[in-house]
Structure 1
Amino acid sequence: MITRPLFTIPDAPKGETVTITFEGQPMVVPDGISVAAALLAGGARDFRSSVVGQAPRAPYCMMGVCFECLVEIDGVPARQSCLMPVRNGMQIKRQIGAPELDDLNVGDHHE
């Protein structure tokens, strides 16, 4: 769900911008900000759903400690959006529940 932004980027530098896509909607954002900051400024309210109960979750600490800001970026799940700088062409989706584990690495213990 995208709604009226809770956060804005006041007096953003008139420098470079990049275009990212969140859930199929393009967003033009200042270059160099985090994915989380860009999504919050663009009005995104929920970034992922919890593993248990599928409750909507959003960034909390904005410094990589809480893991509430996990999103899928360019097909890679469970990326901390508060630590990832935006780059032109990024495709971002909500993280729904737990990411799938790579079947090749799970339980493959040879002795």
Structure 2
Amino acid sequence: MTTAHDHVHVVATLQAHPDHVAELAALLGELARTSRKQPGNLRFDVHQQSSNPNQLITIEHWDGPASVDAHMTSPHVGEVLGKLGPLLAAPPQIVRYSQIA
């Protein structure tokens, strides 16, 4: 059994090329739907910045590091990562956070 302090949050920040925002949003939406079905996923949301619609983020909540590792090496994540390059204006920033309170 995991506790809240075992949980991991992952925040990915993605800057889309202006002409690929809709395509990136659709790709991330599909990633979210698939990821929500994975063991250990507690939440997976996609957000668009209000003042900069080219910037999207994913906020993921996992029950522990092993679930994140399994997610990051899953085939559907590999497929998404393979499609990201032409859609992005800059490399994605993916950061893991551990819950401390």
Please indicate the TM-score interval, normalised by the length of the shorter structure: under 0.3
**Which structure carries more helix by proportion?**
2
* Structure 2 length-normalised TM: 0.24
Q: Which one has a bigger Cα radius of gyration? A: 1
